Structure 1
Amino acid sequence: MTQETVAATSDAVLDREETMSRDELEALQLSRLQHTVAYAYDRVPLYKRKFDDAGIHPTDLRELADLGKFPFTTKEDLRLEYPFGMFAVPQHEVARIHASSGTTGRATVVGYTKKDLADWAKLVARSLRASGVRPGMKVHNAYGYGLFTGGLGAHAGAEALGCTVIPISGGQTERQITLIQDFKPDAILATPTYLLTIADAMVKQGIDPASTSLKYAVLGAEPWTEEMRHELEVTMNIKACDIYGLSEVMGPGVAGEAVETQDGSHIWEDHFRPEIVDAFDPSKVLGDGEHGELVFTSLTKEALPIIRYRTKDLTRLLPGTARPAHRRMGRITGRSDDMIILRGVNLFPSQIEEIALRIPELSPHFQLELTRPAGQRMDQLTVKIERRESVTVEGAASAAKVLQQQIKIHVGSSCAVDIVEPGSLERSNGKLRRIYDMRPKA
């Protein structure tokens, strides 16, 4: 840990809940959980139906382990209850509405009371503070504003922390660079792939990304690897930490990573109860340290209480470190709906990123194309990846063979590798699309 990092963390004033013992925290969880399941049962018709169909009643929750007896909530439940069927309060008590893009089906809609918004801002502020951001700092917010929870959620949290917020939103990369140079922010909030886009654009303008005023980056909204963290920290001379959330559970700030340890995001368990279930048999609740699908139950939400929401994010729960009572999430290895099954092998984009960024000749910019050549029954995966500017075509061809071999060794499936020119692949303006499924539709 550098002296600067020590200085950034030693003056942090923590919330009382961050310093509780594990026993105190679990007693608080049980009390809030018992209230939440009863509240949801009484106020949300979907939960009354689900609980009754499962033969379970809120009074059956006597200890934390009893939560595993209750039915799951899925994204499809929220879509079926579109737009406001999941709300537990009358319309006049809903202070704000957010929604997903709906690009893969009917949008999921979430609502917040004034108390929900205050709790959300507090937890984002807690996450930012854990990641090194301090009151009085200037924060460049490059998350998208609008129905997406990222922009407004991060904005409110930074203000609650006492920061000066620069609400640039996503896109307009050249303007982002101008404002970073002119306004001299201390921290930036963005997706990791968009921060990479900003760094690349700086280089093209003749600006050294490591020469800016930025010291901290708080990055989320998509899975990223330790290799991507190293790439960004070295390129931009910053400390980069993760922030986790999803709109159905709250938005950003469900969990945040501590800058002094950078060992995974601590889940704020005074507001959320996490579980890990077997991704293929969700009836099995797994123990800490076991890898599976992350499930969340809210403990304090008023407008949209959520019971055992299946996130589809694949990770594991680990003991707390910087915040000992609050468990950490391991790195998100992927989403179950992003998983590619290639010739019987499960593969995630983050695995390709992890392998590619260990090969110096290759850049972090890649796409995965799935095809099924005419007359063939087997799918073909092609990794399209840019070589770095300083690497020759011949050097990149050798790196392509290494990437092919490493994917075969570490993932267990063969693929093609197509090295493309620097700057030729689509850049992120927010969340980046990695997978292009070009197989014929059935």
Structure 2
Amino acid sequence: MIWAKEETLPRAEIEKIQLEKLKQTVSYIYEKVAPYRRKMEEEGVKSEDIQSLADLKKLPFTYKADFRDNYPDGLFAVEKRDLVRYHASSGTTGKPTVVGYTRNDLEMWLNNVARIACMGGATSEDVAQIAFGYGTFTGALGLHGGLEKVGASVIPMSSGNTNKQIMFLQDMGVTLLVATPSYALHLGEELRARGIDPSKDLKIHIGLFGGEGMTEPMRDEMHKVWGEQFVCTQNYGMSELCGPGVAGECTELCGMHINEDWFIPEIINPETGEVLPPGEQGELVITCLGKEALPLVRYRTGDLTRLMYEPCKCGRTTARMENLSGRADDMLVIRGVNVFPTQIEEVLFKIDEIGPHYEILVERKNRLDVMTITVELIDDRLLDGYTKLNELEKKIKSALKSQLGLATQLRLVAPNSLQRFEGKAKRVTDLRKDGL
């Protein structure tokens, strides 16, 4: 099912809509958002200089650092009284990236999510179980609202509590699962371990996955645990842009369709900022069209991909982005949560009993991402006292969970036992393999 006529327009019509909205957006952000106005003035660009889509490259980029520098709401274009929703995601310094929505923004956002859900096969007949964590994370409430627009029945299960997840999958006749790919695999394996065959014993046949990338080997493994009837697609978005709803796979599984009447994608060389031609791989840059609370122009996502413009077999004519091949920065995605080493460092440096040296190890165990942080004690005599050592471990874990929004494993080791580096320290070792 195709949700909106804009998904099937000829290329010329799509670009006409984009140009009209782009001119409005640039004028709006110049008038309403002082930090971006200063950027334009520094570049010598005026709103009236944007007369074609090719002129987009004249505009300055927006970076995640702009959110940090203008925390919490310095990039907003409306007053607080005009907002109906706040969300937030992790930032590079421990401060969350705060985003806001007007009533019109919410309507646009959830309609875009409805499109993504329909791309993945969702209909009004589905019973959808959402295994994303709720809270300020955009994923859960975004998919929740989009699926309700489609007409599906939604179970706001939230993350974790595998026993209850399985009980509802069985008892509620769930047909559609929203989760991170790694948690979906873990859940499927747990079902199999309990003698439950999802393809025979459950009604589930659709997976809408986000929060982390899904490789083709992972998709193949998904079919092994959930059954060949299980159509699993991934979708793309981030809080700064609106949340989920920027792009998503259709059932043809040949890239993620971008909702181009609301988002203009560019691919740039991440080193030089040069705009690359269609088909070349580089960093994805997104311009949001028509957003009221938080308009963004040329936002550097840090994600590496390429764009494809040929029409899809599904009937949609919108550009597609290839599945992400990596990131242009050092951000880790752990169970759908964005984690930066600097966030961990900020916590560790506040604990008097531990030193400044640490290592981060990321592994995949039982289909789930596990992050282990190893830190040095200042005084090795703490290793001799179980009670004090246990109390310190609990304190550090609690502080990390509060900062990151997820639980971590912790290893406390003797002073001077971690490797020292003369140059740039290698803090992170990621042992997760492609696929699983």
The amino acid that maps onto 1:107 is: P
Does residue 243 of the first structure (1) align with residue 232 of the second (2)? no
Give the distance between the partners of 2:361 and 2:165, measured in 1 at CA. Answer: 33
Does residue 54 of the first structure (1) align with residue 43 of the second (2)? yes
Q: Report the CA distance between 1:385 and its aligned residue.
A: 6.4
Cα gap change, 1:339 to 1:113, in 2 (>3 Å): closer
Give the distance between the partners of 1:210 and 1:309, measured in 2 at CA. Answer: 42
SS in 2 for 1:285: coil
Does residue 137 of the first structure (1) align with residue 126 of the second (2)? yes
Cα gap change, 1:232 to 1:38, in 2 (>3 Å): same
Q: Report the CA distance between 1:171 and its aligned residue.
A: 1.0
SS in 2 for 1:286: coil
Asked if 1 retains the 8 angstrom alpha-carbon contact of 2:2 and 2:115, the reply is: no
Name the counterpart of 1:169: 158
Give the distance between the partners of 2:241 and 2:287, measured in 1 at CA. Answer: 8
2:71 to 78, 82, 87: 82
Name the counterpart of 1:410: none
Asked if 1 retains the 8 angstrom alpha-carbon contact of 2:125 and 2:152, the reply is: yes
Q: Report the CA distance between 1:103 and its aligned residue.
A: 6.8
The amino acid that maps onto 1:310 is: R
The amino acid that maps onto 2:243 is: G
Cα gap change, 1:173 to 1:387, in 2 (>3 Å): closer
The amino acid that maps onto 1:99 is: A
Name the counterpart of 1:344: none
Cα gap change, 1:338 to 1:196, in 2 (>3 Å): farther
Regions of 4+ moved over 4 Å: 380-388, 430-434, 438-442
Asked if 2 retains the 8 angstrom alpha-carbon contact of 1:194 and 1:431, the reply is: no
SS in 2 for 1:199: helix
Give the distance between the partners of 2:149 and 2:324, measured in 1 at CA. Answer: 28
Asked if 1 retains the 8 angstrom alpha-carbon contact of 2:68 and 2:91, the reply is: no
Number of equivalent positions: 349
Q: Report Cα offsets for 1:296-319 as digits up to 9, x if no partner.
A: 000111100001000001000012
Cα gap change, 1:244 to 1:384, in 2 (>3 Å): closer
Give the distance between the partners of 1:43 and 1:296, measured in 2 at CA. Answer: 20
The amino acid that maps onto 2:170 is: Q
Give the distance between the partners of 1:29 and 1:45, measured in 2 at CA. Answer: 24
The amino acid that maps onto 1:34 is: K
SS in 2 for 1:82: coil
SS in 1 for 2:241: coil
Listed as ranges, the matches of 1:339-418 within 5 Å are none
The amino acid that maps onto 1:249 is: L
Name the counterpart of 1:331: 323
Name the counterpart of 1:416: none
TM-score, structure 1 as length reference: 0.74
Does residue 24 of the first structure (1) align with residue 13 of the second (2)? yes
Name the counterpart of 2:24: 35
- Shifted more, 228-237 versus 115-124: the winner is 228-237
Q: Report the CA distance between 1:334 and its aligned residue.
A: 1.2
Q: Report the CA distance between 1:80 and its aligned residue.
A: 0.9
Give the distance between the partners of 2:79 and 2:288, measured in 1 at CA. Answer: 19
- Shifted more, 314-323 versus 44-53: the winner is 314-323
Q: Report the CA distance between 1:147 and its aligned residue.
A: 0.4
SS in 1 for 2:189: helix
Give the distance between the partners of 2:115 and 2:259, measured in 1 at CA. Answer: 9
TM-score, structure 2 as length reference: 0.75
SS in 1 for 2:294: coil
RMSD value, Cα:
2.6
Q: Report the CA distance between 1:83 and its aligned residue.
A: 0.7
SS in 2 for 1:221: coil
Cα gap change, 1:234 to 1:64, in 2 (>3 Å): same
2:302 to 305, 309, 312: 312
Does residue 123 of the first structure (1) align with residue 115 of the second (2)? no
Does residue 298 of the first structure (1) align with residue 298 of the second (2)? no
Give the distance between the partners of 1:51 and 1:253, measured in 2 at CA. Answer: 28
- Shifted more, 297-306 versus 330-339: the winner is 330-339
Give the distance between the partners of 1:314 and 1:251, measured in 2 at CA. Answer: 18
Q: Report Cα offsets for 1:396-429 as digits up to 9, x if no partner.
A: xxxxxxxxxxxxxxxxxxxxxxxxxxxxxxxxxx
1:258 to 234, 250, 254: 250
Structure 2 gaps of 5+ residues are: 335-358, 368-404, 412-417, 426-436
Does residue 149 of the first structure (1) align with residue 116 of the second (2)? no
Asked if 2 retains the 8 angstrom alpha-carbon contact of 1:223 and 1:334, the reply is: no
